[in-house]
């Protein structure tokens, strides 16, 4: 997992520059969080007290907003986001085995990111392509009719694993 990664001094300098644009503008919290995440790929926990100070909020208020919105991440995300479908159609056609093999292939569990930041693994309820079940999505590419042999070849397109 990549949770242990800490923001570098350069990252925090970039954060401070963004905060400067929103100084004392409490309403600006969400756009500011989007901007930080857009540049760094996540919101480093070390940035939270700085954001709070800059906007005149309590750190708990900033943390509360980050926790409330699922699109904000406080750990780095992989360059490639892998989503294995756990919906009913995919489940009955072997989705559980596909998920197990993807976990084995990447060496991570759901919600985790590989140490080289190559991949983040998630599951989804249904991606709306049940006819192709079981499905795996990498970024915006759908891989349907998955079977154990196809797992490694899917990741061959993205490198790193």
Interface positions with ligand FES (CB under 6 A): 85, 87-90, 126-127, 129-130, 133, 135
Contact (CB, 8 A) for 114 and 107: yes
Residue facing ligand FES at closest CB distance: 87
Pairing of strands 119-124, 80-85: parallel
**Cα 87 to chain center, whole Å?**
20
Contact (CB, 8 A) for 138 and 151: no
Least separation in angstroms between residue 75's CB and ligand FES is 26
Contact (CB, 8 A) for 115 and 1: yes
How many other CB atoms are there within 10 angstroms of residue 68's CB atom? 8
Least separation in angstroms between residue 145's CB and ligand FES is 11
Of 43 and 85, CB closest to ligand FES: 85
CA atoms of 150 and 143, how far apart (whole Å): 9
Cβ partners under 8 Å of residue 116, min gap 6: 160
Least separation in angstroms between residue 31's CB and ligand FES is 33
Of 51 and 101, CB closest to ligand FES: 101
Of 118 and 144, CB closest to ligand FES: 144
Of 57 and 132, CB closest to ligand FES: 132
Of 67 and 141, CB closest to ligand FES: 141
Least separation in angstroms between residue 102's CB and ligand FES is 14
Least separation in angstroms between residue 127's CB and ligand FES is 5
The two tokens of residue 23 are 């100084």
């Amino acid at each position: 997992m990549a949770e242990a990664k800490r923001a570098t001094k350069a990252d925090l300098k970039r954060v401070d520059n963004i905060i400067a644009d929103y100084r004392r503008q409490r309403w600006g919290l969400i756009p500011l969080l989007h901007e930080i995440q857009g540049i760094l790929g996540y919101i480093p926990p070390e940035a939270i007290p700085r954001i709070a100070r800059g906007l005149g909020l309590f750190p708990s208020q900033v943390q509360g907003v980050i926790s409330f919105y699922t699109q904000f991440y406080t750990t780095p995300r992989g360059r490639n986001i892998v989503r294995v479908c756990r919906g009913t159609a995919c489940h009955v056609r072997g989705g559980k085995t596909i998920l197990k093999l993807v976990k084995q292939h990447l060496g991570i569990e759901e919600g985790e990111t590989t140490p080289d930041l190559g991949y983040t693994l998630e599951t989804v309820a249904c991606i709306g392509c049940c006819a192709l079940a079981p499905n795996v999505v990498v970024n915006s590419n759908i891989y349907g009719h998955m079977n154990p042999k196809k797992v490694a070849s899917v990741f061959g397109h993205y490198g790193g694993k």
